Homo-oligomer: A and B are copies of this chain.
């Protein structure tokens, strides 16, 4: 079976993954020169930097999810297909997908990274990941269900385990989730559940390395930790998580933390790309590429974004797995593909590091720019402005802006809904 794509005389570019990298390429590439097939397992692009706001009931999933078909209205040579890639067959210029075989002239791997459990099977089984809107929504449902369940219990220790949240990994996601939960603990949760004692609720942020926000400056890292502790988060650096059975987290230092909810934001691992030469696959799942994002040894296969590992100056082991390198690589590859067709020489990728930032809570953020580092209220305004401007679509931007203003004024994330699509007859009654 072959994937059903219209015939075209143009060379076909198959892009696997519609994250920041794949979308950046698909939006910038000329569909007059190429037939573009964009594969993703969802029918929407996900704006990962705001997943934590979905998980903490501040934003609706739709506010940060953009239907791919809408993005490509009017681009008649761009074909979106909801499918997973199963295997690459470089000799045949073909990939196998969940919809069948698909021929390519150029293949671009942009299927990113997923949660890394570092081989800990128990943790994979019981922890909540944060690498998709759907996972963030599942976390929101779980947190709310915990509070509901706590109400039904009378034993204070059992209650506490339902209220406690342990977040592992102090990167931006871990910092943002734990900070926001700490704020909710002080503001909206006691109003929602006056029968529960939120003094007993503990929010832990566990980090194996010595710092929170490791790759950021000392200043940002120190301030972020200070902000988190101000909000009441128990920050434990230099601490490993060794096991979790769904009830108690075992730390490397022997300590035990009772919790029903372990949020796992401790690391990512590139998604597998079966069929590439073994020499191209790194142990962390990333794919070795040259300065044109070409997979080593393969003329017409490229990798961009989180999945690609390019050695460039101080980024000898690959660029950071965040939005900016992905977007920049996608944009450059759009131009380089044209150069290949025109038999021109390719342009090498040079990463423009625009800086990094994270928000901890209301009025609290840290920003590192190459020329200036700052923290606090102004950093928070900058964080909001940058994220708002990065959002696709004027309507989404407007709706998010209204939500943020509303939440800021009312101290009330209003989306505390345990919402699941339901097929068929629910059990009868009330």
Contact = CB atoms under 8 A, between A and B. Distances in A.
A85 B430 CA distance: 6
Nearest to A144: B43
A16 B429 CA distance: 9
B272 A418 contact: no
Across the A-B interface, give the 6 residue pairs with the lowest CB-CB distance, nearest first: A134-B422, A111-B430, A69-B192, A137-B421, A138-B421, A67-B416
Interface in A377-430: 393, 395, 398-399, 402-403, 406, 412, 414-430
Given A85-B429, A271-B428, A430-B111, A3 B138 contact: no
Interface stretch (A34-42, A233-241, A311-319): A34-42
A91 interface: no
A153 B56 CA distance: 40
A152 B98 CA distance: 11
Nearest to A398: B402
A141 to B, nearest CB: 6
A279 B100 CA distance: 61
A396 to B, nearest CB: 8
A325 interface: no
A414 B67 contact: yes
Contact of A192 (B3, B73, B153, B416): B73
Nearest to A85: B430
Interface string A59-85: 011100101011001101001011111
Interface in A217-240: none
Given A86-B429, A152-B3, A70 B414 contact: yes
A243 interface: no
Given A79-B195, A144-B43, A16 B152 contact: no
A17 interface: yes
Given A43-B417, A82-B148, A151-B4, A425 B129 contact: yes
Contacts of A418: 42-44, 82
Given A82-B418, A129-B424, A402-B402, 10 more contacts: A43-B416, A60-B60, A65-B419, A67-B414, A86-B429, A134-B419, A134-B420, A135-B423, A271-B428, A399-B402
A429 B84 contact: yes
A65 B417 contact: yes
A99 interface: yes
A25 interface: no
